[in-house]
Each structure stands twice: as C-alpha cells, then as structure tokens.
Amino acid sequence: MSLQYDIYDVFTGHQWAGNALAVVHGADGLDDHAMQAIAAEFNLSETVFITEPRGREADWGLRIFTPVSELPFAGHPTVGAAVALTLKSDAKDGDVRRFVLEETVGDITADGRRNGPRHGSARFFVPRLPEQVGDLPEFDGIAAALGLKPGDLMDTSVQGGIWSAGVPFAIVPLRNAGALQSISLDPVAFADVFGGERPVGVYCVVKASETEHTTDWRTRMFAPHLGIMEDPATGGAAAAFAGLIAEQAGLGDGEHSVSLYQGVEMGRPSHIRLRLRIEASRLTELMIGGDAVKVAEGTLLLDQ
C-alpha cells in the first residue's frame, strides 16, 4: 500500500519559512494508530490526513496529528490542506476554490486560491468562536517557566488568560519585544505551571511596535505536551488570541484586520492574517488566512 504526500510551508509565501506541514492524501484506509505513527515519523508540528467526509455536507475530511496526539482543530493544517486541494484541482492562477472541510471541532468553510504552480493562499471562518476558559497562573510561576522576570509580564493593554477556539492556550502578554526574544523555557517549571490534568500551550504576545498604535503583534508559542517545544506559526492559538483581542484591546465595533508575526526567533518567519467582526462589543465572526508554498512531495510505503 502506498499514499502520496506533500510538504508545505504554511503562513508564508517563501519556501524554508513559515510552519512546515505534511499533507497525506487518500488516507481513508489508515486507522488512528497508523496516522499517529506517520505523524511521529514526519516529526513536524502537525500532519494532516485528507479523507472522504463522514457527513453529507462536507467535501473532505481532515484528521490532524502532532507527533504525540490528535487535535480537534488547527489553523496551519486547515490553510495548508485548502491550498493543497486547490492546487490539485483544475484551478488556474488566480482561481479560487471553496471547500467544506470536516474537522473534529466541526465543519469549516475554506477558500483556497492558486497563486502559482506551487503557491497558494487560503482563508477560513473558524467553526467555534474563541472563549475564555480559565485564568492565568501566578506571575512568578509563569516567569519561572519562561525564564523571565515577573516584571517582563503584563505591562500591556491586554491582561491575558486561557482562551480556546477548540484547543486551549494560555495567552501571556509581555512587556516588550526584548522579553519575547529572551524566553528560555525551564521544562520542569513549565510542566508544573502549565501541565497537570489539562495541560495548555503557551502563546506569548507583544505589540509589534512600542511607539505607534498598531494592530500587529509579535508572538511565540510553546507546547511541549504536544511534542512541540516551539511552533513557528499556530493558527489555533491565533484564533484563541482573537477572542482576547476583541474583549480587551478596545477595537470597537466593525471589521478589523490584525496581523500576527511568529517564528522570527526560530528563523522561520510566519504571517497569520486575522479579520474580526465585532458587534455590540462582542466578537461575532473570525476569519484566519495565510499563504502556503509546496516544497516537497513523495510516497509513503506502508506494510499491508
């Protein structure tokens, strides 16, 4: 048995940047154990398996795995899968294809655009709006886990919290870009503070400009419990963060575009685009978008 796969760099228009993603096509014959083993073999932040949908409304099913566990939803596999499906279709440069993608969290409507033979972009509405599901631990513990000083935290217009749009993340605002760059995880302290029965990834955020009003943010994400020491681009965390922005950043009613820049410290710069609609001071709609470029393709050889 053999299956075709592609490798995409996602949330970037340039190869060797962004977040690498394995896209496995025609994966209906794989069970959960095989999918997890293949994801561990690729050892990327995530691997997405494209299958026939279980429900009647979707065009394709997506199963998303980190090297150690399955996720109900993730942004960079959704963008990457939509671009991969668009490039495999009859689309010509500039054409857009719409797909309903069935993920564990729910059906997701995604638009994929072909920008070239190996390049595309995609955007999708999140199936579940983000909500706050908890409060941050004590500052001293957070600082110890991140290798920072307590004074490096929270000197910002947003106050943080644990938010989720399907996968929970502790949103930790930092004082400036220097603090963001200085993070050095203490694995033991990190497990003590953010582990336990319901471990969470940590999404550290800081305004991209310290001197001008901006809706751009610099971010870093850490999730050792998912087999991801640091991630160069995290759509699920971006979706969670959008809920915090809508509630705490004073954007006002209407549509707002927000850019998130991640992966800089890893040498894998990424750009995640958000579009928020706020009505009566509440987030009512959230779209996530980004680019992707195909960098490799191959064949998985599987024992019968």
Query: Which DSSP helix (H) or strand (E) runs through 285?
Result: strand 282-301
Predicted confidence at residue 157, as pLDDT, reads 74
Burial of 279 (0-12, 13-18, 19+ CB in 10 A): exposed
Q: What is the pLDDT along the chain (304 residues), one digit of tens a residue?
A: 899 999 999 999 999 999 999 999 999 999 999 999 999 999 999 999 999 999 888 999 999 999 999 999 999 999 999 999 999 999 999 999 999 999 999 999 999 999 999 999 999 999 999 999 999 999 999 999 999 999 999 877 788 999 999 999 999 999 999 999 999 999 999 999 999 889 999 999 998 876 555 679 999 999 999 999 999 999 999 999 999 999 988 889 999 999 999 999 999 999 999 999 999 989 999 999 999 999 999 999 998 6
Whether the CA torsion 224, 265, 12, 2 is positive or negative: it is: negative
The residues carrying an active-site annotation are: 46
| C-alpha triplet 19, 21, 22: angle, nearest 5° | 165
User: Which residue, among 125, 73, 74, has the nearest Cα to 99 in the 3D structure?
Assistant: 125
Name beta bridge partners: 201.
169
242 Cβ neighbours under 8 A, 6+ residues apart: 130, 165, 258, 274, 276, 283, 286
Predicted confidence at residue 73, as pLDDT, reads 95
Torsions phi, psi for 244 (to 5 deg): -65, -45
